[in-house]
Amino acid sequence: MPYVAPEQLMKDRSDYAHKGIARGRSVIGLEFADGLLFIAENPSATLHKISEIYDRIAFAGVGKYSEFEELRIAGIRLADLRGYQYGREDVKARDLANAYSQALSTIFTQQMKPYEVEIVVGEVDGGAGTSGIYHILFDGSVSDEQGFLAIGGHAEELTDTLRDRFQEGWDLATAVRTAVQALSTMPEQRQIPDDQIEAGVLDRTRPQRRKFRRLADDQLAEILAG
């Protein structure tokens, strides 16, 4: 094989991953008064971008579905193993984010093709009333986000829009409407059908141990109509 400078190789891999991610529809994450909301435009009723990982932890991904689905399943297995070995309260989103970061960094530097994915791990703490949002890139870079974030094809434009609109203490309906309005402006102003919106919530006020729930089409339609 011809010699390629390491910095050029890393740049080529980064450009390749960026192009793959840019083709995917975006996901928005928002804090609201009772927890975390993840919402995305998704025409498929069965291939989910947003899912549960563990009791108080959710996962969202954009890019190549098969790759972020593989990461989601690996995260569930890691969380189950840690919960079994130690205790359910010892399963933390921060630890999962670090594990994802290490795995993606290894893939990016050692494999021929990087993963074309961008993922988010979110967590609510019912007792403390706090939330955590961890954003992990295809190269293993990880950041702790506050308040809101957007990932995927139009992440920068959506982040700018959310920065202008976001307010702490929103109720769920306001958070849903704001997120859908932002998604409806990218790549141009349009109307997203209610049945093509996927939304998942980590609700710390739920009495059940599992805090994740999906918003059904009729719930979304009622919220958006209001």
Answer yes or no: is pLDDT of 153 > 90. Answer: no
DSSP state of 26: P
Dihedrals phi, psi of 120, to nearest 5 degrees: -135, 140
How many folded domains does the chain comprise? 1
Answer yes or no: is pLDDT of 129 > 80. Answer: no
Mean pLDDT, the chain, whole residue set = 93
Contact 172, 34 (CB under 8 A): yes
Query: What digits encode the pLDDT tens for the residues 21-44?
Result: 998 899 999 999 999 999 999 999
Confidence of residue 226 (pLDDT cuts 50, 70, 90): confident
Residue 155 lies in a domain: yes
- Rounded to whole angstroms, the Cα distance separating 58 from 204 reads 12
Q: What's the CATH code of the domain at 216? A: 3.60.20.10
Confidence of residue 128 (pLDDT cuts 50, 70, 90): low
Confidence of residue 127 (pLDDT cuts 50, 70, 90): low
- Rounded to whole angstroms, the Cα distance separating 182 from 158 reads 6
For residue 70, give its domain range.
Answer: 6-225
* pLDDT at 149 (0 to 100): 96
- Rounded to whole angstroms, the Cα distance separating 9 from 30 reads 35
Residue 1 lies in a domain: no
* pLDDT at 31 (0 to 100): 96
Confidence of residue 130 (pLDDT cuts 50, 70, 90): confident
Confidence of residue 125 (pLDDT cuts 50, 70, 90): confident
| CA distance to 28, 128, 154, 215, 219, per residue, from 159 (Å) | 9, 27, 9, 23, 25
* pLDDT at 126 (0 to 100): 66
Name which of 61, 3, 51 is nearest 27 in CA terms: 61
* Residue keyed to tokens 């960094």: 105
Residue 79 lies in a domain: yes
> Collapsing DSSP states into helix, strand and coil, what is residue 42?
coil
Q: Exposed (0-12), middle (13-18) or buried (19+): which is 184, by Cβ within 10 Å?
A: middle
Query: What digits encode the pLDDT tens for the residues 82-115?
Result: 999 999 999 999 999 999 999 999 999 999 899 9
